Homo-oligomer: A and B are copies of this chain.
Amino acid sequence: MVRRYDILVIGGGAAGFTAAITAKILYRDSKVLMVTKTDKSPIVCALPYAIAGNRPLDDYLMPYSYASSLGVEILVDEVVDIDTEERVARTRGGEEIRFDNLVIATGSRPEAYMAEGVDLKGVYVLGKEYREVAELREAVNRDGVRVVLVGSGLTTAELADALSGIPGLTDHVKRYVTIVSRRKYILSRYFDEEFAELAERELEAKGVTIYSNTRVKRIHGHGRVEEVELDNGEVVKADVVVIVPTWVPNTELASRAGLEIRGRGIVVNDYMRTSKPYIYAAGDCVEKRDFLTSDQRDIKLATLACEEARRAISAIKGVTLSAGRMGRIPVTVTRVGGVVMGAAGYIESHALNEGISYIVGKARAVNRHPAWLPGGCEIQVKLLFLEDGRLIGGQAAGRCNEVAEIVNSIALAIQGSLRVEDLIIGLQHGSHPLLTYSPVMHPLINAAVEAYLKMKN
């Protein structure tokens, strides 16, 4: 029997899952099928906590039962071939699925720097699949285990934080953690130095050793890893080595189906349509463009994947955005130790790489007024403006959760093309003594004022 669906979604990650549930929510009467290679898919953003956590791995899975409850059909199988003219997908399990509309959300796969010795037991390339995560989890959940993390990004920082113990969440065993980073600072792809340093200091305070500007030369051991030799000559004892990979788009299926690929991602328009009608793509498998330059840019974020999924599903019925709302602003928020930090849009190093001139404004404020009121937290803010005054980036950090939502406000301000004057005399916000900064001393406004004075002098 040939199955037929209004909307077929290939992939069960953030993009695929969001596409499937959004399809059933927006088009209640449509038949929706999500094909996923596994029915147990760990939430990727939560991997550090799933790996180091003291609760079962099954507590960290994508909630497929929620999709089922909405009426999404789920097929655990793998699509191996798409006929874009006949609109038929064929699976490894032999199913033939006809579709009116297709969303490809095949995600990304790890690509790791492979030093000599990576085939020793105890060396892992971090993966997203249940089996891989379960294995790594078992390896690091032993008291006294020495773990060497090779990487520089968010996952590396968060995994180091989690492995060195988050109270009540990942502190059931004692581990010794070392990071080997080829960058000057960990997180330097996401944050400017003064923010990246905050994360490094938090990790060091938790006992994590960080080797910066350093590469792994060789991994030593007899069958099982014993030591990691660095290119600076140092040797680090290790029971477990985790190589945190970069992620590259999974485009083989799309490519075989004749869809256009550019760089490493599937080509899509602003509404996620591919080069073929009725065929959309979303998430890590598609090419990303910078909101300012529209150049290709390597950004992989669950928030963008979900947004793209919603765009794809909405586009089926022609939902469109208001003028000027196209650009997708990359927004990163994280917690490392006690510090919450986030970035939206451009950071200095990225602007420099792109040859974009910018002006910086900085400010700090405690989010209580008077500032001594209980529960206050000093928040530091840095904003980047173009020379014509347009806001293109912002970073914030502080020892409280509110930082995440402050960064989300910055993202909306960037999306709204606010200029420095708009922030100074037009930033809409509310205040309360027990909850926020004083409206007299708002750090976003004060950072804008600092930048403005630089522009005019």
Q: Which residues of A contact B (CB under 8 A)?
A: 14, 17-18, 21-22, 25-26, 43, 45-46, 49, 59-60, 63, 168-169, 301-303, 305-307, 310-311, 314, 319-322, 325-326, 328-329, 331-335, 340, 342, 344, 369-370, 372-375, 400-402, 404-409, 411-419, 421-422, 424-436, 438-440, 442, 445, 449, 452-453
What distance in Å separates the Cβ of A188 from its nearest Cβ neighbour in chain B? 18
Is B416 a contact of A429 with CB atoms below 8 Å? no
CB-CB under 8 A for A369 and B43, given A333-B436, A401-B435: yes
Answer whether A430 and B331 are a contact pair too, CB < 8 Å, given A59-B370, A412-B416, A419-B322.
yes
Q: Contact check, B331 vs A425: say whether CB atoms are below 8 A apart.
A: no
**Which residues in B have their C-beta under 8 angstroms from that of A319?**
421, 424-425
For the complex, give the distance between the alpha carbons of A329 and B342 in Å: 26
Oligomeric state, in number of copies? 2
Contacts of A412 in B (CB 8 A): 409, 412-413, 416, 427-429
Chain B residues with CB under 8 Å of A49's CB are 373, 433-434
Decide if A435 touches B370 in the complex (CB within 8 Å): no
* Interchain CB contact under 8 A, B422 and A322: yes
The chain B residue with its CB closest to the CB of A60 is: B370
User: Cα distance A408–B402 when bound, in Å?
Assistant: 11
- Residues of chain B with a CB closer than 8 A to A434's CB: 49, 335
Report A13 CB to chain B, min CB distance, Å: 10
Task: Select from chain B the residue with minimum beta-carbon distance to A416.
Answer: B416
- Complex Cα gap A334–B442 (Å): 17
* Measured CA separation A45–B431 after assembly (Å): 9
- CB pair A321 B43 closer than 8 Å: no
> Chain B residues with Cβ under 8 A from A435's Cβ?
333-335, 340, 401, 404
